[in-house]
Chains A and B, each alone.
Chain A
Amino acid sequence: MTLEFLIDALVTVIGVTTPILLAATGELVVEKSGVLNLGVEGMMLIGAVTGFAVTLTCGDSLGDFAPWFGVIAAGVAGAASSMLFAVLVLTLGSNQVATGLALAIFGIGLSSLVGASYVGMVIAPFNQAFPAWLAEDPIGRVAFGHSPLVYFALIMVIAAGWFLNRTRAGLILRAVGENDISAHSIGYPVLAIRYAAIAFGGAMAGIGGSYFSMVITPMWAEQMTAGRGWIALALVVFSSWRPGRLLVGAYFFGILMTLELYAKASGFSCLPSQFWAAMPYIMAVAVLAVMSARDVAGSEAPACLGRPFMPNS
């Protein structure tokens, strides 16, 4: 019973962690390039509705491949919506905080508009990466019993760490985020690199969003990401912009969110369920306080984070 319970809990933790890990990995790369995109929540919702809609519409003709197309479409939609943000902040030099917020509001509205006709429909959950017999015993279930997106998220956070710290392209991206003017004068295309980073962040947020509508609950509901996009943003600060710590932090928040689910389901706690629902956000603030107090000089954040760069003026 206890082992079963632990396995259940662990599987749930991995499940709720995956979407914020995906979105936060994307945002980490964006912020490393010196851009703060606050629109994660909106991009996740656009990805969620796109992934669901494409999977549903292609279900008849593509069969088992439909969810793969759904995920790809969610990534493309997330990237496309992020380009709206990119044109404004990069080409037109608008304020990044306000523009990111506009993207978040826009994504919430657009996904509700598009999703209105899909409310109440259901698709088959996208939850088996490996054949079912591999996931029968408890250990097998923890290792092999997840959606392909779970493994994709783990691969991407490792890949992001390798890219940023071990490749030349990653070094250039970090240089652009640390000192845009120097990078520009050496001849690196600052804006093009930032466009690419923002598109990557958008795609990752879109795919992260699709996890809600295709895996957790295989249906569409308005604002179904319920603020997880903002948690992803806090996670990036928590990680001090390091992919390894991002992974640890994501699972920490995953455990908190799982506590909320279990508290609601079993009523085992004497505290009201609303306390557990607020817990991830309270902890996010507390964690931000601890991390930021340690980094008083702001030396861990990319130096150009949030600063507009206008080369032609």
Chain B
Amino acid sequence: MRIRFEKRLAPSRFMLVATPVASVVLTMLLGAIIFQLLGFDGPDAIWQTFVTPIVAPYKWQDVLTKAAPLIIIALGLLLGNQAKIWNIGAEGQYVIGALTGAGLAFAMPGAPAFVAIPVMIAGGIFGGMVWAGMPAVLRTRFHVSEVLSTLMLVYVAMQVLNYLIGGPWKDPNGHNFPQTPPFTAAQTLPHVIPGTVIPPGFLVAIALTLVFWVLTARSVYGFSVRTVGVAPSAARYGGFDASRTVWSTLMISGGMAGLAGILESMSQLGQINLGFPSGYGFTAIIVSFLGRLHPLGVFLAGLILAVTYVGGQVAQTVVHVPEATAGIFQATMLFFILASDILVRYRLRLVRGARRAAAAGAPA
């Protein structure tokens, strides 16, 4: 008896939905076992990480706060990932977007809110697009793999941030901390629902989820992107321009990351400091895969990953697990989801008499 993979004619819809759920459950089980072995209270660590953030009063608002940037960035990434155009530098576009918006805010200190807020948001989107535009030029003109160029630019973006907040844009009243001056009231976004701390970004995330749902499911553009990813030569014969797909997916993902960045700085922090790049851009890649590159899936996956962020902090204080725990949970989920990908495209079959495969010329 041996296990054989047989290619399915069409991807299994059941597996497409079941595998992400299974990945989360398996991550929880594995996490409990590992923490038990490391000498912590395993089940309690899992409970604090995955359940407390949902049931505890007020914690769910933190979850929505963390989910907003994750969902917005991941929605931007899903088109590129469908087309197999890999933007893994969303973190840098997030930072540059926020810096561009902040720069505009500092350039017009007296502007009223109805001018300042739209200009800052537009600046955030523009900044993210510019930062993603460089890899797009490099890919379409110089054939540079976007995988490496997007990533390298994250490190460049970090240095731009360090330079600006420690130099030209340093807060004169900031006790010498590397941070920008706080935004004025006209430059910050208010909490949208009175009595809660739910950020406006979360409502943006809901709206954009619907927009992307229509875009991917109902538009020719969404279809062309998927075709480029699944069957590049068919896309070429079909007249879908490859470099236009590179440009559009990178512009969309860069713009969305920049949007997430400026919204975060305008509503959560009220300034930009050293702690601003907190890894949302990288985690959003996990969100897009856990959400199976589908807008609704991305929305749910963003909530789940946000739970691990908040829960990681809870587990840190309650069960005393180290801070890095959340990152390991997130990576483990991604491992599981990628490993289970094969169940979507292939059927597992037990083959009697191992020799059949060998007779067909396949090595063990």
Contact = CB atoms under 8 A, between A and B. Distances in A.
Bound pair (A, B): yes
Interface of A: 38, 84, 87-88, 92-95, 97-99, 101-103, 105-106, 108-110, 112-113, 116, 184-185, 189-192, 222, 227, 230, 233-234, 237, 272, 274-275, 277-278, 281-282, 284-285, 288-290, 292-293, 295-296, 298, 310-313
Given A109-B331, A189-B363, A288-B144, A101 B285 contact: yes
A22 B166 CA distance: 34
Given A88-B338, A296-B143, A113 B331 contact: no
A112 B142 contact: no
A116 B324 contact: yes
A279 B97 CA distance: 21
B155 A278 contact: yes
B341 A95 contact: yes
B174 interface: no
What class of interface size applies to chain B in its complex with A? 35 or more
B334 A292 contact: no
A84 B342 CA distance: 16
Contacts of B331: 102-103, 105-106, 109
Contacts of B145: 237, 288, 292
Contacts of B282: 101, 105
B92 to A, nearest CB: 10
Contacts of A191: 363
Given A116-B324, A185-B361, A272-B163, A288 B149 contact: yes
B156 A272 contact: no
A94 B334 CA distance: 11
A237 B146 CA distance: 13
Contact of A88 (B151, B326, B339): B339
B153 interface: yes
B156 A281 contact: yes
Nearest to B323: A112
B269 interface: no
A274 B160 contact: yes
B106 interface: no
A198 to B, nearest CB: 15
B138 interface: yes
Nearest to A111: B324
B327 A105 contact: yes
B327 A112 contact: yes
29 contacts: A92-B341, A92-B342, A98-B81, A98-B285, A102-B286, A105-B286, A105-B327, A105-B330, A108-B324, A108-B327, A109-B327, A109-B328, A110-B324, A110-B328, A112-B322, A113-B325, A234-B152, A274-B159, A274-B163, A275-B163, A278-B155, A278-B156, A284-B148, A284-B152, A289-B138, A292-B142, A292-B144, A311-B363, A312-B362
Main secondary structure of the interface of A (DSSP, over half): helix
Contacts of B324: 108-110, 112-113, 116, 222
A311 B155 CA distance: 39
Contacts of A98: 81, 285, 289, 334, 338
Nearest to B167: A272
B1 to A, nearest CB: 15
Given A274-B166, A284-B148, 19 more contacts: A87-B339, A98-B285, A102-B338, A103-B331, A105-B331, A109-B330, A112-B323, A116-B322, A230-B148, A272-B167, A282-B152, A285-B144, A288-B145, A288-B149, A292-B144, A295-B143, A311-B362, A312-B4, A313-B7
A288 B339 contact: no
B237 to A, nearest CB: 20
A313 B351 CA distance: 13
Contact of B153 (A84, A222, A274, A285): A285
Nearest to A278: B159
B136 to A, nearest CB: 13
Contacts of A110: 324, 328
Nearest to B3: A312
